Structure 1
Amino acid sequence: MSDVSTFLTTDRLVLREFTAQDAPHLTDLDGDPEVMRYLTGGRPTPPAEIRDRVLPRILAAYRQPPGLGWWAAERRADGTFLGWFEFRPVRAGDAREVELGYRLRRSAWGAGYATEGSRALVHKGFTELGVERVMATTMAVNAGSRRVMEKAGLSYVRTFHQDWPEAIEGSEHGEVEYALTRAEWAARRSS
């Protein structure tokens, strides 16, 4: 992996591009009802959907601007797959505004990995990739994800409601958007 856009290391993580061999990791991750609680109400993603839709979508995202897409997250000490981070354009091919997301195994929750990976991607986006704004969304009731967004430097922007094919518990409270601009990030770093 000589191309710097294909991986990123932090103190405890290696973030790398996905490969076709990651299908079992994604199947295990999306098979945990607690991991999927705020996404599908706890229903697992079927392995065929991972293979035929999810993984091909992840791999196709790498054709967008370099350095953006989904990043497989591994523990640096032992290579254990922990989950993934999303850092991809809100509008295809336009790196000025990106969406930050993350999905980690339950065993990785509460250890600061989501914050560590998010901060590293925000830094990379603002210093190397030409990103002007990072945004993230989650269900309003997902307190854990909201804390990660705040610790990564993003601030609450708004609450909004979407029409979902199937409502899940808590969806009646809506979704929230958090965001951070390059100017805000730079001002905080210089103070």
Structure 2
Amino acid sequence: MDVFLETERLILRRFTRDDADLLFDLYNDPAVMRYLNGGAPADRNEITALDLPAFLGYYPRFPGYGFWAALDRAALDQESRGFLGWFHFRPQPDDPLDEPELGYRLHRAAWGRGYATEGSRALLAKGFTDLGASRVTAATLTANLGSRRVLEKIGLRHLRTTPADEHDTAEGAERGVREYAITRAEWAALQQ
């Protein structure tokens, strides 16, 4: 297992080509996808042909950045290998390399248990202390109160609300997208 980061309860590791079934199970849950695509069924072919290759492509192009499978350290002996979902910490295509975006997608069973907060805090720390990040951004639909709470809890500040893409079919898209950010200095002040 190619471990990227460990916390008290989580292991974040690189994805492999063998993870298509884990992603399919995650993406095929309408509740997980509610604020992303309106809960539409997953397409396994899309996962294997597009999603996984994109995930794997980050590792060599952007060392230290990418998509990370989130595993529950206490459940690693289970058949699912304790897969809780994933976190991403990577620059957006048109953004500077030192301004990665933070995001996550977790199984329903992981909701409300602090995993999103724990993993996000660890990625912020790694980004600001080891990877040279100067600013970290994140975005979520205004309607997604759970994700908004996590981002605010870890110190990101709301910058603006913008209209969602006109083709966005996710629940609550008409309320727009909230954009968040935190700088290295802001993060350092929170650590004192």
Residues 1-191 of structure 1: pairs in structure 2 closer than 5 A: 6-79=3-76, 80-91=82-93, 94-190=96-192
Unmatched segments (≥5 aa) in structure 1: none
> What is the rounded CA distance, in whole Å, between the counterparts of 1:168 and 1:84 in structure 2?
20
> What is the rounded CA distance, in whole Å, between the counterparts of 2:57 and 2:38 in structure 1?
27
Is the CA contact 1:95–1:130 (under 8 Å) kept in the aligned structure 2? Answer: no
Unmatched segments (≥5 aa) in structure 2: 77-81
Aligned residue pairs: how many? 187
- Alpha-carbon shift at residue 165 of structure 1 (Å): 2.2
Structure 2-normalised TM-score?
0.92
Is the CA contact 1:7–1:17 (under 8 Å) kept in the aligned structure 2? Answer: yes
Counterpart of 1:73 in structure 2: which amino acid?
A
Counterpart of 1:30 in structure 2: which amino acid?
Y
Is the CA contact 1:91–1:97 (under 8 Å) kept in the aligned structure 2? Answer: no
Gap change, CA 1:93 and 1:68, over 3 Å in 2: farther
Gap change, CA 1:189 and 1:27, over 3 Å in 2: same
Which contiguous aligned blocks of 4+ residues in structure 1 show a shift greater than 3 angstroms?
Answer: 91-94
- 1:121-140 alpha-carbon deviations (Å, 9 max, x no partner): 00000000000011100101
Cα-Cα RMSD: 1.5
Give the share of equivalent positions with the same residue, in percent. 56
Is the CA contact 2:164–2:174 (under 8 Å) kept in the aligned structure 1? Answer: no
> What is the rounded CA distance, in whole Å, between the counterparts of 2:96 and 2:14 in structure 1?
19
For the residue of structure 2 that corresponds to 1:120, the secondary structure is helix
Gap change, CA 1:19 and 1:102, over 3 Å in 2: same
> What is the rounded CA distance, in whole Å, between the counterparts of 1:64 and 1:151 in structure 2?
31
> What is the rounded CA distance, in whole Å, between the counterparts of 1:7 and 1:174 in structure 2?
33
